[in-house]
């Protein structure tokens, strides 16, 4: 085989070469068909090869693909910003377009700090977050992330932003159950604020449904209402990292809407461009923008390709496609159908510990013992084996962390395109069942 100079995730591993995609399926050069039950990295929200998006790409490319944001704006960027303002709740009206989720969370962090600076408060420069979280791989975003294994190599370079436990009901750090627990994990934020000092804290950031670090951990009912009130009581902005959960993934534009909470700033990405172009955004409220508009009049952030018309035109086409076909309206029903089918497997396979999630962002945590919830040893590489076995079957699932320490635990995320049909869900479940059967045979051999 010809030598490759491409830096792949695992350098000495051989990866299939993808040929094309159509709908929820991908096809490699050998002709093998894969059901994309991960939407890549929870990204391909409308599936692959959608003609309307391809046409929008071509139309914009005929006009102009790139202009620098400090020199020009474009119709594509203006229309996309207007569409997002229409779709997002409350007064989340101002979009700063970037290229990736990591850039979106870093931009959101910078906007929060600048908000206080423009109000004449220079001390509020910390942004708090949770353990068992993931906000991106660049150093600022990784500082926000409570993803133990991804932080490990770079700890000396990172800030200590993660300060509280996640709302991880399956592995409650207090060994209690919601709501009788009194939401102690949420009230940890108040304790952390008092220890650090509210005058030092600009914002608190959280994923509405924890993704890569926890395998689709959704909070109990009143969790985010408590978090938001604590933030408001201490003059701290609330940032929702909706890079994975936004753009309809859970059945609403923002997952926060399920819990009746409107953030001050939102980070969007992934499904915003649905994999057709790299684009993400930090979306700020009128409250956040007001002192900047009456002060410096400039948000201190930006990248060469920020708000480029090619990516903006693609994202606009994706949102219009979701709107025209009423796809988000169907997510809750499809998600419930998928979850119902998956839950049937719990009695069949003893290594399934927990099913969780929201809409079409569902997680499965694996355990060595269902009754004790005891995880597999780290060196058993259960997540990696499960992902590999599924791929052999022609099923793509997304690897995720698990465990309250962020180290000892295994899970996968099931997050197919939002356009998946019930018949395709049945096929997904069939392939996943066969994967679990193979894994069961391996551990019982």
Residue 36: phi and psi, rounded to 5, are -85, 75
Q: Which residues of 75-85 are buried (b: 16+ CB within 10 A; e: fewer)?
A: ebbebbbebbe
Q: Would you list the DSSP string of 284-334? A: EEHHHHHHHHTTT---S---TTTT-HHHHHHHHHHHHHHHHTTHHHHHHHH
| pTM, 2 dp | 0.97
* Closest listed residue to residue 144, CA positions, set 155, 157, 158: 158
Encode pLDDT of 38-78 as tens digits. Answer: 999 999 999 999 999 999 999 999 999 999 999 999 999 99
Given this model, what pLDDT does residue 2 score? 81
Given this model, what pLDDT does residue 433 score? 98
- The answer on pLDDT for 110 being more than 70 is yes
Long-range CB pairs of 142-149 (<8 Å, 24+ gap) are: 144/105, 144/109, 144/205, 145/213, 146/213, 146/406, 147/212, 147/213, 147/401, 147/406, 148/401, 148/405, 148/406, 148/407, 149/401, 149/406, 149/407
| Beta strands 398-400; 395-396: pairing state | unpaired
Give, for 443, the enclosing helix (H) or strand (E): helix 422-444
Torsion over CA: 257, 261, 265, 266 (sign):
negative
Given this model, what pLDDT does residue 3 score? 87
Given this model, what pLDDT does residue 1 score? 65
- The answer on pLDDT for 445 being more than 80 is no
Encode pLDDT of 326-370 as tens digits. Answer: 999 999 999 999 999 999 999 999 999 999 999 999 999 999 999
- Name the β-bridge partners of 361: 358
Q: Which two tokens stand for residue 71?
A: 């020199």
Residue 94: phi and psi, rounded to 5, are -110, 120
Give, for 342, the enclosing helix (H) or strand (E): helix 327-343
How large a percentage of the chain has pLDDT more than 70? 100
Rounded to whole angstroms, the Cα distance separating 302 from 326 reads: 33
DSSP structure class, residue 140: H
Encode pLDDT of 126-155 as tens digits. Answer: 999 999 999 999 999 999 999 999 999 999
**Distance from the Cα of residue 328 to its chain's centroid:** 17
Given this model, what pLDDT does residue 393 score? 98
Mean pLDDT score across all residues of the chain = 97
Given this model, what pLDDT does residue 443 score? 85
- The answer on pLDDT for 213 being more than 70 is yes
Q: How many CB atoms lie within 10 A of CB 349?
A: 15
Confidence of residue 444 (pLDDT cuts 50, 70, 90): confident
Rounded to whole angstroms, the Cα distance separating 164 from 109 reads: 18
Q: Which of 5-14, 271-280, 292-301 has the lowest mean pLDDT?
A: 5-14
Alpha-helical regions (H) of 119-251:
139-144, 148-151, 184-196, 223-233
């Amino acid at each position: 085989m010809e030598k490759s100079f491409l830096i792949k995730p695992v350098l000495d591993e051989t990866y299939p070469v993808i040929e094309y995609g159509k709908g929820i399926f991908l096809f490699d050069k050998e002709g093998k068909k894969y059901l994309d039950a991960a939407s890549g990295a929870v990204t391909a929200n409308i599936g692959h090869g959608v003609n309307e998006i391809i046409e929008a790409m071509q139309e914009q490319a005929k006009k102009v693909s790139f202009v620098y944001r400090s020199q020009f704006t474009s119709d594509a960027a203006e229309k996309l910003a207007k569409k997002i303002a229409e779709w997002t709740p409350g007064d989340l009206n101002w979009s700063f377009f970037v290229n990736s989720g990591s850039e979106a969370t870093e931009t959101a962090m910078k906007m929060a700090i600048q908000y206080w600076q423009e109000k004449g408060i220079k001390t509020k420069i910390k942004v708090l977050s949770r353990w068992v979280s993931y906000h991106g791989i660049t150093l600022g975003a990784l500082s926000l992330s409570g993803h133990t294994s991804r932080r490990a190599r770079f700890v000396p370079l990172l800030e200590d932003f993660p300060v509280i436990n996640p709302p991880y009901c399956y592995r409650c750090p207090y060994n209690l159950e919601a709501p009788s627990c009194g939401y102690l994990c949420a009230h940890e934020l108040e304790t952390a604020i008092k220890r650090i000092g509210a005058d030092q804290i600009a914002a608190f950031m959280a994923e509405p449904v924890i993704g890569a670090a926890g395998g689709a951990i959704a909070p109990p009912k009143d969790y985010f209402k408590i978090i938001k009130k604590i933030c408001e009581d201490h003059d701290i902005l609330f940032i929702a990292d909706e890079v994975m959960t936004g753009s309809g993934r859970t059945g609403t534009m923002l997952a926060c809407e399920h819990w009746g909470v409107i953030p001050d700033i939102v980070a969007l990405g992934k499904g915003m461009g649905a994999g057709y172009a790299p684009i993400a955004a930090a979306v700020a409220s009128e409250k956040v923008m007001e002192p900047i508009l009456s002060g410096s009049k400039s948000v201190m952030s930006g990248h060469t390709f920020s708000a480029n018309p090619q990516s903006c035109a693609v994202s606009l086409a994706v949102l219009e496609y979701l709107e025209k076909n009423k796809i988000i309206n169907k997510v809750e029903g499809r998600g419930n159908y998928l979850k119902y089918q998956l839950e049937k497997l719990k009695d069949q396979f003893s290594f399934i510990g927990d099913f969780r999630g929201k809409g079409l962002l569902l997680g499965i945590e694996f355990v060595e013992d269902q009754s004790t919830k005891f995880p597999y040893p780290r060196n058993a590489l259960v997540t990696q084996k499960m992902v590999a076995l599924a791929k052999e079957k022609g099923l793509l699932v997304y690897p995720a962390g698990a465990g309250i320490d962020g180290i000892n635990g295994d899970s996968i995320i099931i997050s197919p395109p939002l356009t998946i049909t019930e018949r395709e869900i049945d096929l997904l479940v069939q392939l996943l069942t066969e994967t679990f059967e193979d894994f069961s045979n391996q551990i019982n051999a």
